[in-house]
Amino acid sequence: MNMNWGTRIVLTFVAFVGVIITMVIISMRQDIHLVAKDYYVQELAYQDQMDRISNSNELNHLKPEVNYDAANKRITLSTPDGKTLEGTIYFFRPSDASLDKKYTIQLVNGKQVFSSNELDKGLWRVKVNWKDQDKEFYTEQVLVL
């Protein structure tokens, strides 16, 4: 079958349009998660968050730590001085907001244990907000299960 150059141009154009339409359909079916549902509210409170981070940085080694024990499938929030904290711990999954978990901090002897069975394998950001006297603090750690 012998095609002239005009037919080839039309077929090339039709194939190109087909590829573009396919890409648009695929991209529209993708589930896109924002970093947070209340992104704009959090943006307005940005300076407060920066103050919390600054307060935490002043603590140096006295910040709460999050450790993962893969053998026992446990995640432990602990304070180095055994201090009791008032605040929240937030397990944030960047790839899927529906998997996020939020807990109130309830330390017993300076520790709180979470089961990693409740969390899917992958990358997590563990965000800890707490208050001590009149100061607020924030720290964040990356955790890979």
Tens of pLDDT, residue by residue over 96-123, are 777 888 888 888 787 888 888 888 888 8
Query: Under CATH, domain 39-144 is a member of which superfamily?
Result: Immunoglobulins (2.60.40.10)
Q: Averaged over 38-50, what is the pLDDT?
A: 75
The secondary element (H helix, E strand) that includes residue 71 is none
**Adjacent-strand bridge partners of 78:** 65, 111
Structure tokens at 142: 């990356």
The dihedral of CA 9, 15, 18, 23: what is its sign?
Answer: negative
Q: Which amino acid is at 108?
A: V
Residue 138: CB atoms within 10 A of its CB come to 20
